[in-house]
Structures are given as C-alpha cells and as structure tokens.
Amino acid sequence: MDSFSLAVGAASALFILLCMLNNFDCLKNGRPDKDYLKYRWQPTGCNLSRFNATKFQLKLKGKRLMFVGDSLSLDQWQSLTCMLHAADPQADWDLVQDGNSTCKNAPRLILYEKALNTWAKWVDSEVDTTKTKIFFQGVSPDHDNCARVTQPLKSTQGTHPGELILEKDLRGMSKPVHLLNVTTLSQYRADRHLY
C-alpha cells in the first residue's frame, strides 16, 4: 500500500461518485473499511511500473479496445476508466463519435441506445446466422445504497429503461438474437451487490 494508491483510489472514488451515479462507490454505499483504497498489485519477481495514462492513450490511438465477458470485465473497464480519469480529471468521459458527428455529455441511456443501434446494424449486415448463433445478455441493473439489503426484494420498481431500449432494438433486427434476460431477476436481487 502506498500514498499514490490512496490518491488514485480517492480520484477513482470521485470519478465513480460523479460519473457512474454512485452505483459502485463502496464508501458511499456503506463499506466500513478503507484499506482497499491503498492496494497496489505488484507481481512477485517483476518490477511493474506505474500506469501511465498518456503512454497508454498514445499506444491505443486509432485502435479499439474491447472488454468481453462478465462482471469481471466490467470491473476491469471501470478500473481503467478510473485510472484514465485520475490522470486527466477534466476530460470528458462520455464522448461518442458517430461518423462526422460527436455526441458529448449525453445521458447514459441515449449513449446506450446509440451503441445498441450500431451493434444491431453490424449484426444484421455482417453475421451469418447459418453458422453463428447470437446471444445478448440483457441489462444488469444497479442498486444504489444496497449495503444494508440482505434479502431479495419482493417487488421491483417496474421495467428497467435500458431493457425497454434493448427490446425495441431486438424487435427491429432482421437476424435472430437470443436474449439472456437477466434484468428482472437481477432487480429482485439487490442483496447481491453488497460491495
């Protein structure tokens, strides 16, 4: 543990607080300890240099980076965005370029719909469904302030807005997509998001 990690942890927590709508802010959501803010991964027998956001951005300029998988991939993406944000706290975090137009500081659901539309067009034009089955995992909702929830909920707050966007896009596609709909099930399980 070191003071740099604490500073990055604090900046990361601030980024999460401001940009991710408090959904992953452990301190705000009731986690009592703070030591995890100082953790730094250091492999045995290897001198791993500190993350350099500028070098990282230069190496990836003009390239694509994908996080494919489950909640661990989501955690990796969030960790990377936090490290990048700590290096340049004034940078816009939700900038989407679509052809010649740029969408900046838009609400998350608008950006989600734009991304889904792009994906749906790509699937319809590029995927051969005689050789490939397409699966899409639905929206995994966040539960704000769930640190004290210890039992599954008995009811939900209705349909998640992201689920409505997803279902509309899937209905408009020409290729069959198998939806792994985890949204409603996940809404009942606020108890699973303790930290």
pLDDT in tens, 117-146: 888 999 999 999 999 999 888 777 665 555
User: Who contacts 79 (Cβ-Cβ below 8 Å, separation ≥6)?
Assistant: 12
For residue 53, which of 96, 20, 104, 15 has the smallest C-alpha distance? 15
Q: Predicted confidence band at 80 (pLDDT cuts at 50, 70, 90)?
A: confident
Lowest-confidence range among 72-76, 93-97, 125-129, 178-182? 93-97
Prediction pTM value: 0.53
DSSP classification of residue 51: P
Per the CB < 8 A criterion, the answer to whether 94 and 59 are in contact is no
- Crossing angle of helices 53-60 and 71-87, rounded to 10°: 110
Report pLDDT for 174: 96
Whether 51 has a pLDDT exceeding 80, the answer reads: yes
Report pLDDT for 82: 77
Lowest-confidence range among 28-32, 61-65, 70-74, 105-109? 70-74
Per the CB < 8 A criterion, the answer to whether 110 and 159 are in contact is no
Report pLDDT for 16: 41
Per the CB < 8 A criterion, the answer to whether 147 and 28 are in contact is no
